[in-house]
Amino acid sequence: MHDAVAAPPGGNVSTGTPALIVEIDFANDPTVTTRTWTDITSDVRTISYTSSGRQHELQRTEAGTLTCTLSNRAGKYDPSNTASPYWPGVKRTRWIRVRSVWNSVVYSEWQGLIQGFSGEWPSAGMDATTTVVATDSFLALNLFDLNGYSYPEQTTGQRVAAVAADTQVSTGNIDIGVSTLPAITFTSSESALSHLQAVEDNEAGIVFVAADGTLAFHDRHHRAIFNATSVATIGDLVGEIPYSSSARFELDDNNIWNRIVVTAAGEPNNVDSPVPQLATDTASIASHYERTLTKTLLSDSQNDALAAAQFYVAAYAEPSERIPGCEVIGRAAPAVWPYILGAANSDRFLWVRRPSTEASPRTISLPVFLERKTTTITTGNDWRVNFQFTPADARLFWRLGVAGYSELADTTVLGF
């Protein structure tokens, strides 16, 4: 997500924080592949952007969003000002991107489509600002109707790539996928986004927009294979990524699921309904009462449905303690900025707490996956980053004959 290249100077730098680069393509319609970027960093006062992601691994991924307040004292961001150097390009549905620079390395931060401009005249009319609101490429996917489109039998990753091609959304890292989806012809209105979120749910993977604006897909084996070790430690010792004292742990019953019912899709021209596949955990039911989670797959495989039910009950009959997120503080240890700026969905971190109030010193260590990142910048003043996490279960998928990866229900869970 970043390039070690000769970096542009960026702008609005404060001590101990990266340089900021904000650019808009005023020249091209959004469907044109050419980009003509204009640097507007010097006019940025505040900017906040959240990456595409989710708060819980059982939820569908949400779009990334951006809000940016610009100085408009010269009227450059007033769509009706024909004297603006950017006229007539101050329009909705124009691309905007954010990058950062640290130690001459440029990091992609966010990219998406402007949804609107709003102007204000604060300080009793002695000032002028424009607020820009934007959404990532999920906006384009949500606007594209698949009615009339057909897709053959293909893996989940192939389906993601095919839909992205039809919607002209650029793709980045697309896993091949584990599940196979049946052929489909859309005969009624359904957005590309809705279908890809259903694909994501079927796969138990994640479809998201990466920091460089490309569509990405991680299948359900991605994290176990590519993110089995931590990128860095978020903790309270020198060399670790510092975090604010507002971090907390949670162990609640919101996502205890001990009775899982998964139904495969019905096959075309088959009058018989598919049989729901059931998996239960009697010990969890005895401890927490019965709690049912139901899911319906796009796949028509009964084996997939059964394997999914077994996987979910193994993972959620007694879910682990959670650290929902924390603010990481790059300014306190500037050497860790590359880990913060380069952090992306599915990256694995080790979150560590060493309580100083306890009589017997101990270390609390929880492996986590990054699900979402929010950055809030007041130019020339502050740069804050919040990470959202889900647990990275220490029990990984089964790897036959490999110590630490093959003891079922001890170091592993059933994968599907």
Three-state secondary structure along 332-369?
HCHHHHHHHHCCCCCCEEEEEECCCCCCCCCCEEEEEE
Q: What does residue 279 show for φ and ψ, rounded to 5 degrees?
A: -135, 135
Return d(Cα 299, Cα 412) in angstroms, integer.
25
- Say if 297 falls within a structural domain: yes
Query: Nearest CA to 177 among 219, 226, 223?
Result: 219
Q: What is the pLDDT of residue 414?
A: 56
- Say if 285 falls within a structural domain: yes
In angstroms, how far is CA 413 from the centroid of its own chain?
A: 24
Would you tell me how many other CB atoms lie within 10 Å of the CB of residue 87? Answer: 16
| Strand ranges for 223-271 from DSSP E | 232-234, 259-263
- Is this prediction's pTM over 0.75? yes
Return d(Cα 345, Cα 368) in angstroms, integer.
11
Q: What is the pLDDT of residue 387?
A: 97
Q: What is the pLDDT of residue 361?
A: 81
- Say if 404 falls within a structural domain: no
Return d(Cα 42, Cα 22) in angstroms, integer.
9
Query: Nearest CA to 391 among 348, 362, 355?
Result: 348
- Say if 413 falls within a structural domain: no
Average pLDDT, the chain: 90
Higher pLDDT, 158 or 355: 158
Contact 20, 11 (CB under 8 A): yes
Neighbouring residues of 4: CB distance < 8 A, sequence distance ≥ 6 = 104, 105
Whether cis (ω within 30° of 0) applies to the bond prior to 88 is yes
- Say if 204 falls within a structural domain: yes
Query: Nearest CA to 239 among 336, 384, 332?
Result: 336
- Sorting pLDDT into bands at 50, 70 and 90, what band is 195? very high
Question: Are residues 55 and 168 located together in one domain of the fold?
Answer: no
- Sorting pLDDT into bands at 50, 70 and 90, what band is 3? very low
Question: Are residues 16 and 132 located together in one domain of the fold?
Answer: yes
Question: Are residues 233 and 365 located together in one domain of the fold?
Answer: yes
Over residues 259-276, mean pLDDT: 77
Return d(Cα 319, Cα 3) in angstroms, integer.
38
Contact 353, 236 (CB under 8 A): yes
Q: Which of 171-185, 195-209, 262-276 has the lowest mean pLDDT?
A: 262-276
Q: How many domains does the chain have?
A: 4
Q: Report the b/e string of 242-273 with b at 16+ CB within 10 A.
A: bbeeebeeeeeeeebbbbbbbbbbeeeeeeee
- Sorting pLDDT into bands at 50, 70 and 90, what band is 53? very high
Q: What is the CATH number of the domain that holds 389?
A: 2.40.30
- Sorting pLDDT into bands at 50, 70 and 90, what band is 124? confident
pLDDT digits 0-9 by tens, 65-106: 999 999 999 999 999 999 999 999 999 999 999 999 999 999
Neighbouring residues of 81: CB distance < 8 A, sequence distance ≥ 6 = 75, 87, 90
Question: Are residues 309 and 340 located together in one domain of the fold?
Answer: no
- Sorting pLDDT into bands at 50, 70 and 90, what band is 381? confident
Using the predicted structure, report yes or no on whether residue 404 has a pLDDT greater than 60: no
Neighbouring residues of 123: CB distance < 8 A, sequence distance ≥ 6 = none
Instruction: Look up residue 235 and give its two tokens.
Output: 């903790």
Domain end marker among 300, 320, 340: 320
Question: Are residues 283 and 233 located together in one domain of the fold?
Answer: no
Question: Are residues 328 and 264 located together in one domain of the fold?
Answer: no
Structural domain range at position 100: 2-136
Which contiguous run of DSSP H or E holds residue 96? strand 95-102
Interior angle at CA 237, CA 232 and CA 240, nearest 5: 20
Return d(Cα 113, Cα 95) in angstroms, integer.
5
Interior angle at CA 196, CA 195 and CA 200, nearest 5: 120
Using the predicted structure, report yes or no on whether residue 140 has a pLDDT greater than 80: yes
Question: Are residues 168 and 229 located together in one domain of the fold?
Answer: no
- Say if 336 falls within a structural domain: yes
Strand 38-39 versus strand 150-151 pairing type:
unpaired
Residue 209, strand partner residues: 215
Q: What is the pLDDT of residue 412?
A: 55
- Say if 81 falls within a structural domain: yes
In this structure, the chain runs to a length of 416
Q: What is the pLDDT of residue 2?
A: 43
Largest CA distance in the chain: 73
